[in-house]
Amino acid sequence: MQRVCFLLKVKPERLEEYKRRHQAVWPDMLDALRDTGWHNYSLFLRDDGLLVGYLETDDFEAARQAMAAREVNARWQADMAPFFEALEGQRPDQGLMTLTEVFHLD
């Protein structure tokens, strides 16, 4: 199982709305994430907008490609893009910065 951690930056003025949107993620988006191998997926948000994502998957690149092929993902990414800083024309799922794992207890 591959563990993945990534960062994005939410615009500070959009923090509360971003949190509200994630209290009601579309059911078809949740199904697509599960169906494409995104397991134990969590998002953590700092007060200054730093967003940390964590997930486990068999193959992160395959999971990303499978999600990219889903129509619901295109709608979700378009809806979420205005919340983020520094995407430089990319969708949020393309602009995330992955971190290198340097330690795992087990």
Mean pLDDT of 19-32: 96
> H/E element holding 77?
helix 71-80
Could you list the active site residues?
22
In order of 13, 16, 35, the CA distances from 55 in angstroms are: 26, 23, 14
> What is residue 88's predicted lDDT score, i.e. its pLDDT?
81
Distance of CA 50 to the CA centre of its chain: 12
Per-residue DSSP letter, 82: G
What pLDDT, in 10s, does the model give residues 41-85? 999 999 999 999 999 999 999 999 999 999 999 999 999 999 999
> In angstroms, rounded to a whole number, what is the distance separating the alpha carbons of residues 19 and 12?
12
Name the least confident of 23-32, 82-91, 96-105.
Answer: 82-91
pLDDT bin (cut points 50, 70, 90) of residue 36 is very high
> What is residue 94's predicted lDDT score, i.e. its pLDDT?
86
Report the 10 Å Cβ neighbour count for 61: 9
pLDDT bin (cut points 50, 70, 90) of residue 16 is very high
> In angstroms, rounded to a whole number, what is the distance separating the alpha carbons of residues 65 and 52?
20
Q: What is the pTM of this model?
A: 0.91
Delineate the domains of the chain, giving CATH numbers in brackets: 2-98 (3.30.70.100)
